[in-house]
Structure 1
């Protein structure tokens, strides 16, 4: 495999990983007010391609955040116990927004790397045609 293919493979795998991360962040944000919802996180792992010396990025198994759920006082809520409390979610919107922004920036950087590699490959092909 050529160096161009290796670079495209690495940036492509990183794009897929960041897209998965953004999907979980958006699920967390959409369920921030769902009682009993636990925040999802997804770790990244590196995987070495046996055909080349390149390491690609892969997402691991989804983890549920085990921090305590917020106790919300609302005696009129159908899930409230005898003391008027129910368990909310452990999603912090500020953390989710920061994670989304970080994933977006990383996605944009990998798009640029992918595009520059494609442009270099096209320029090389143009030189070879002369």
Structure 2
């Protein structure tokens, strides 16, 4: 695999991983008010198998999706259908500030991978233009 195609595949794997992360962040934000919902997070892993043999370059792949084990928020609303005898029910453990920060980080990482992809493409185009002369 050439260096150009390897750089394209590495940045494409980063784009895919950040898109997956952003999808889970948006699910968390959408379900922030859902009773009993637990925050989802995705882990990233290095994938050396997709790279060339004896290469130090690894692609990014997403690992398991894990649920946040932290305590669910106790909400007092005796009129809610899920409320117990004490008038409390379990809300979600989604913190919107954390989700917005994660969304920004994923967006910036996505943009960085997109810029790397575009730079490799422009370099390949420049090389082809030089070879045609």
TM-score, normalisation: structure 2: 0.96
- 1:87 equivalent to 2:90? Answer yes
Corresponding residue of 1:12: 12
User: How far apart are 1:50 and its partner, in Å?
Assistant: 5.1
1:99-118 alignment to 2 at 5 Å? 99-118=102-121
CA deviations on 1:78-110 (whole Å, 9 max, x unpaired) are 000000000000000000000000000000000
State how far apart, in whole Å, the 1-side matches of 2:58 and 2:30 are: 33
CA deviations on 1:23-68 (whole Å, 9 max, x unpaired) are 0000000000000000000000000025342300000010000000
State how far apart, in whole Å, the 2-side matches of 1:116 and 1:82 are: 61
Moved over 4 A (4+): none
Structure 2 counterpart SS, 1:91:
coil
State how far apart, in whole Å, the 2-side matches of 1:109 and 1:56 are: 15
Pairs aligned (count): 130
1:47-86 alignment to 2 at 5 Å? 47-48=47-48, 49=50, 51-52=52-53, 53=55, 54-86=57-89
- Unpaired segments ≥5 residues, structure 1: none
- 1:45 equivalent to 2:45? Answer yes
- Choose the corresponding residue for 1:128, options 122, 127, 131: 131
TM-score, normalisation: structure 1: 0.98
- Unpaired segments ≥5 residues, structure 2: none
Structure 2 counterpart SS, 1:62:
strand
Q: Name the stretch that deviates more: 44-53 or 63-72.
A: 44-53
